[in-house]
Amino acid sequence: MLNVIVLGSGCSNCRKLEQLCHVVADENNLDMNLEKVTDFNKFADYGIMFTPGLVINGKVVASGKLPTKETLAHWMIDASN
């Protein structure tokens, strides 16, 4: 199972990233547990200075940008293997 954490304050890009994770997981039949973290104090625990932040299976893969759907799919599929 993929453990995905989206870190963000709830801005439009943070919401888009969360939705995109669900779309990619559904399209690729990936078993995913998604957690949304909005507590600014916890962002620092991951070294995230800019949102949205994305953590997949404990590894920070993005910070301060919205990845393309293709890039996100690549990260999620690789992490699920």
Q: Domain-by-domain residue ranges, the chain?
A: 1-48
Task: Report the alpha-carbon distance of residue 35 to residue 50 in Å, rounded.
Answer: 18
Mean pLDDT, rounded, for 14-31: 96
Give residue for tokens 């690549």: 74
Whether residue 81 has pLDDT greater than 90: no
pLDDT in tens, 60-79: 999 999 999 999 999 999 99
pLDDT score recorded for residue 10: 85
Whether residue 33 has pLDDT greater than 90: yes
Edge-first strand listing for the sheet containing 2-7: 32-37, 2-7, 53-56, 59-63
pTM of the model: 0.93
User: Which residues contact residue 79 at a Cβ distance below 8 angstroms, ignoring those fewer than 6 apart?
Assistant: 2, 56, 57, 59
Whether residue 35 has pLDDT greater than 90: yes
Q: Which two tokens stand for residue 15?
A: 């919401």
Which segments of the chain are extended strands (E)?
A: 2-7, 32-37, 53-56, 59-63
